[in-house]
Amino acid sequence: MINQDDRNGLAGESVVTVFGATGFLGRRIVTRLLERGVDIRAASRHPHQLRGNASGKRRSRPIEADILDPSSIAAAVAGSRAVVNAVSLYVERDEQTFERVHVEAAANLATASRHAGVERFVQISGIGSDPKSHSDYIRARGRGEEVVKAAFPGAVIVRPAVMAGADDAFISTIARLVPLLPIYPLFGDGHTRLQPVHVEDVADAVSRLVSGQVAIDASIFECVGTRIYSFQELVQEIATELNTRVTLMPVPFPLWRILAAASEGFAAAPLTRTQVDLMRRDNVATSDLPGLEELGIQPRDIVEVIRMIAHEA
C-alpha cells in the first residue's frame, strides 16, 4: 500500500514526462504530480494549450512532441525518471490510425523510455481493452498494452472506466442533451453496464504509480467508480438531478454506427464509431484485477460528480 509518510515520491530526483499532458486526464495527472513535488515535462503537439500549472517550487514545462515522431519522443523522455502515456485517438484521420498511435507509437515511446534509462512507465489504456476484439479501436488498445509490456518490462497499465469530471465528454454531453431532446436515444436497449470513475481519482492513481509509493506488485490496474449503472439508469439519474423527465427510446447499434460514421466527417465529431463500439459491451471492472482501493484511494461517489455536472450544464 501507499506509504503515506512519504508524500514526495520522486521529489528532487528528476523529471516525469507526461505525454498527452494537455488532455482531460493528462492535465490532472500533471497537477497531481506537481502536488507531489515532481517537475514535469508536459508533452503534446499543442503545448500552448497547457494552462499555467505550478505547485510550490515545482513547475510543468510544456514541450512540443508528437508521439508519431521518434525524434521528438527521444528528446521528450531524455533524462526522465518516469514517463506516462496519456495520448488519445478516438477517430482515425490520415496517418493518425489506431494502429499507429495506440500500438506502434506506444511501443516506440516505451522503447525510447527504456533506452533512456527511465525507471517507470505508465500506459493509460481502457477497461475492456482486448487484442482479439472485432472493434479496431478496442483491439488496438489491447495490442498496445501487449507491445508496451514487451518493450518496457515492468510497465504498468492503467485501465480507466469511462471518466467523469467537469468538462468531460460523456456525462456533460448527456446533461446538456437531456433538457433539449423530447426523446432521448439509447445505445441499443440501454442495458450496457457502466461504472463511471471520477477523473481526479484516476489522476491520483497514476501519480501514485508514477511515484512508486505502491507496495502492490501488479502490472494492470482497473480504475472504476463506486456504482454500476445501465446506460438507461445513468440517463435517468442525470435527468433526476436536472429535475426533468426523460423519455427513452432504444436505437439499434447498426443505426448508431451509420450516424457515427457520418458524424466523423466533422472536425470535432460529436459521435464516433469508437464510442458506439465501446457502448456495445459492459464497461465495468473485472473481478480479478487490482484498482483504486489497492492504491489506497477511496473512489468518490459518482452521484456527487453527476450532481455537480448537472448543475453546471
Ligand X SMILES: NC(=O)c1ccc[n+]([C@@H]2O[C@H](COP(=O)([O-])OP(=O)(O)OC[C@H]3O[C@@H](n4cnc5c(N)ncnc54)[C@H](OP(=O)(O)O)[C@@H]3O)[C@@H](O)[C@H]2O)c1
Q: Give residues in contact with ligand X (CB under 6 A).
A: 19-26, 44-46, 49, 65-68, 86-88, 124, 126, 160, 162-163, 170
Which residue lies nearer to ligand X by CB, 1 or 166?
166
Q: Cell digits for 98? A: 489506431
Give which of 180, 213, 167, 126 is closest to 305, Cα–Cα.
167
Phi, psi of 173 (to 5 degrees): -65, -45
Which residue lies nearer to ligand X by CB, 65 or 242?
65
Name the residue with the smallest CB distance to ligand X. 23
Give which of 24, 66, 28, 38 is closest to 213, Cα–Cα.
38
Which residue lies nearer to ligand X by CB, 9 or 126?
126
CB of 280 to ligand X, least distance (A): 15
Using CA atoms, how far apart are residues 299 and 218, in angstroms rounded to an integer? 19
CB of 6 to ligand X, least distance (A): 27
CB-based contact 175:313 (threshold 8 Å): yes
CB of 23 to ligand X, least distance (A): 2
Give which of 169, 129, 121, 170 is closest to 285, Cα–Cα.
129
Which residue lies nearer to ligand X by CB, 25 or 148?
25
CB of 261 to ligand X, least distance (A): 20
CB of 65 to ligand X, least distance (A): 6
Using CA atoms, how far apart are residues 309 and 303, in angstroms rounded to an integer? 10
Total residue count of the chain as it appears in this document: 313
Which residue lies nearer to ligand X by CB, 89 or 248?
89
